[in-house]
Structure 1
Amino acid sequence: MDHSLETSKRKEKLLQTMHKLQVKSGSALQQTSPLLNCHTGMGMVTVQHMNHLSQTVSQVCRDLKNIENLVRFRQNWLKYKIANPEGDHSDGLSGIHCGLDGTTYIVSVSSPRVHVLNRSGQVVRSLHCVQNQGRRKEPFLPEDVTLTRTGLVAVTDIVGGTVRIFNPHSRFSEGEWIEIGKINCPKGIGVDRSGKLLVTDYTGGSVHIFAVDHTFRQQHIQTIAGLRGPRYISSMYDGGIIVSEECGDVKVYGSNLKLMYSLSNKYCHQFGNPAGLCADKEGNIMVVDEQKRNVILFPKFGSPVCIVSVGLKKPTSLACSSYGLVFVMDTGDNCIKVFKYRVNTGCGSTKTGQSNHKPYT
């Protein structure tokens, strides 16, 4: 906690303001309630007075919610960096996914592989992206990564026009990538609340939703059409789906796959080039803006909050953990930058791994 004099004064002023508002509203309620309950008329109160009061109260409620969000969230709090597992002189980082247990999955197209990292950022396993062609093994280029409901790794393969799932129980000792269906140009991939795979078709302007049975066959295929260059996709805890469009907007769909709203319209926000996105358990949506090189958090209630505004060179993909961290893939810096964006609700600390990195200033 910052114990500087300036911070203490700001906290004191904020608490005084909140207390004054509470006292004034409580006093007004005590004085007017008996009159409203017993008085036969409304005195000189007009419709204009009521409209003005309603608008003022609505604005105060919005301001209070924004203050609450600004207190809860943090900006540019870099916890640590995860270097490219392929080395400093390699490139080609692509998708990223963070599991509920803190395990991170990183796609590297220079090898190509999917690296599995523990909460300390150490590689515990690497899955080589090769397909069996008879007696030969041919590499394929993974684009994005997620986990199926049963914990299997799934990636998109743009060149092959398919989704591939890693089956560790195949007849090959090292495991095997199974091809799942054909899609024109699969890019982003995710899993919804029911366990169905979500795949964006970049050139087709659509999203494909389907289940995969135990024999790795597609079931219950559904499609969302009418998108412009859909890139990344993620599910929300309430069953909704969020999709980013290249040089466009971020669309939010309900559990019935109907368009609910776009973030630019709902929050009056102008995107440059929205890329990776994710949603946490509180319903907050986070989006990487590749052009503006920042990360914007869209709270369930209140105005957007910029949680990362400096230190990014070319951010693309994004993932958030269940313990208040957001993982930003910065391909321009050839690493993953991990930020703490949400403070703890209690007084105790949450263990998120050790780091000697200081926050950006």
Structure 2
Amino acid sequence: MAHALDTSGQQKERFLRAMRALQATSDHTLQVASPILEHLGGLGPITGQGLCVELDRVGHLLQFQQDQLLRRIPTLGGVRGLHCTLDGTLYLTFDEAPCIQILDLSGHFLHSLPCSLPGTGAFVSEDVTVTGSGLVLVSSLVHRAVYAFHHLSKASQGKWVKILTFESPRGVGVDALGRFLVADYVSGLVHSFSLGSSFKAIGLTTVPGLCGPRYVSNGPDGSFVVSEECGDVHLFGHAHQPLGSLGRRLEYPFGNPAGVCTDAQGNIIVVDEQRKEVTLFPRAGPPVRLVSKGLQRPTGVACASHGRLLVADNGDNYVKIFKYQM
């Protein structure tokens, strides 16, 4: 009996090695193998953690697509921040243009919000986020402030309102509880707060201990995710408690993690500027590389509906849309 189990294990190992080798040249082979992987009873009992990890890897390769470029949207220049709403509206900020450009996912221009303050003049926004109610929030590294765009009585009019001042605000986001998140780069902090009446910040909480926090996003189960420049990607719980980092937990070698986002299934997606790739970190199992070619200097990432992924590439000034889910 022991000999039979050992033989079965060797057969499964050979099968998995063959599947991994075939994947490198044929996505169709994986699709054909999918029913086999879903009904493993005929292959005998699986023993050993290594085999389970390999099955997870193959299963993820069946579930997620790699390097499936759908469209390239030209931009005004280097993109600093991007945000995609649930209805597929894209908000972009730029290195030099003092405005927020608003597009649809076909690249059609919808609207532009000039970034200008009375008495101060134009300012360049570092990053942008949008709430479910349509409130736009941006960070300004030069002005050391976070601003919200307040719509006036007419739909086409509005003004910027200063919310808070920080030393070096970069990434901005909104968590699952509706609290705003700001990555304070030089200070190594992440600030969290809500907005009350008249755009007054309430419940300001600060999370310390980071090294060059760059971008911040909501995470699974009410958590939030922060990328560090030339460092790691850290997770914090809904009560701002540290939950560890992706790099240390998975022994994953980040180069320069930049934009981060979380999709509807709770998978965390990170764009690495130095390694020129985008990687998905599932709720369970090993990481999956979604984009590994065709990027020059990727900095931002966002998820859209129907399994689409948006990547800001400042190497050639495009927002590139990929299909990453079947």
CA RMSD, 1 decimal? 2.2
d(CA) in 2 for partners of 1:206 and 1:7? 43
Question: 1:311-333, CA deviations, whole angstroms, 9 ceiling, x for partnerless residues?
Answer: 11111111111321111000111
- Structure 1 residue 60 corresponds to structure 2 residue 79: no
What secondary structure is seen at the aligned counterpart in 2 of 1:227? coil
TM-score after normalising by structure 2: 0.87
Task: Find 1:328's aligned residue among 300, 311, 317.
Answer: 311
Matches within 5 A, 1:299-318: 299-318=282-301
**Preserved contact between residue 97 and residue 145 of structure 1 (Cα < 8 Å):** yes
Give the direction of change, closer, same or farther, for the CA distance of 1:126–1:17 in structure 2 (3 Å limit).
Answer: closer
d(CA) in 2 for partners of 1:237 and 1:99? 17
Give the direction of change, closer, same or farther, for the CA distance of 1:340–1:8 in structure 2 (3 Å limit).
Answer: closer
Task: Find 1:142's aligned residue among 125, 132, 136.
Answer: 125
**Preserved contact between residue 170 and residue 176 of structure 1 (Cα < 8 Å):** no
d(CA) in 1 for partners of 2:33 and 2:256? 38
Identify the residue that residue 60 of structure 2 maps to in structure 1.
Answer: 69
TM-score after normalising by structure 1: 0.79
d(CA) in 2 for partners of 1:18 and 1:258? 37
Give the direction of change, closer, same or farther, for the CA distance of 1:119–1:6 in structure 2 (3 Å limit).
Answer: closer
Identify the residue that residue 49 of structure 1 maps to in structure 2.
Answer: none
Give the direction of change, closer, same or farther, for the CA distance of 1:184–1:6 in structure 2 (3 Å limit).
Answer: closer
What secondary structure is seen at the aligned counterpart in 2 of 1:181? strand
Residue segments in structure 2 that go unaligned for 5+ positions in a row: 1-24
Identify the residue that residue 80 of structure 2 maps to in structure 1.
Answer: 94
Identify the residue that residue 116 of structure 1 maps to in structure 2.
Answer: 102
Question: 1:34-75, CA deviations, whole angstroms, 9 ceiling, x for partnerless residues?
Answer: xxxxxxxxxxxxxxxxxxx8xx34333322222211101011
Structure 1 runs (4+) deviating above 4 angstroms are 5-19, 170-173
The sequence identity of aligned pairs, in percent, is 40
What secondary structure is seen at the aligned counterpart in 1 of 2:59? helix
Give the direction of change, closer, same or farther, for the CA distance of 1:155–1:7 in structure 2 (3 Å limit).
Answer: closer
- The offset of 1:119, in angstroms, is 3.0
d(CA) in 2 for partners of 1:331 and 1:8? 33
Q: Which amino acid aligns with 1:282?
A: Q
Task: Find 2:160's aligned residue among 168, 177, 195.
Answer: 177
Residue segments in structure 1 that go unaligned for 5+ positions in a row: 29-52, 344-361
d(CA) in 2 for partners of 1:149 and 1:15? 39
Give the direction of change, closer, same or farther, for the CA distance of 1:78–1:17 in structure 2 (3 Å limit).
Answer: closer
d(CA) in 1 for partners of 2:137 and 2:38? 49
Paired residues in the alignment total 302
Identify the residue that residue 18 of structure 2 maps to in structure 1.
Answer: none
- Structure 1 residue 245 corresponds to structure 2 residue 228: yes
d(CA) in 2 for partners of 1:6 and 1:270? 27
Give the direction of change, closer, same or farther, for the CA distance of 1:79–1:172 in structure 2 (3 Å limit).
Answer: closer
**Preserved contact between residue 280 and residue 322 of structure 1 (Cα < 8 Å):** no
Question: 1:67-113, CA deviations, whole angstroms, 9 ceiling, x for partnerless residues?
Answer: 211101011100001111x3xxxx23210000011111011242211
- Structure 1 residue 23 corresponds to structure 2 residue 42: yes
Identify the residue that residue 38 of structure 1 maps to in structure 2.
Answer: none
**Preserved contact between residue 148 and residue 197 of structure 1 (Cα < 8 Å):** no
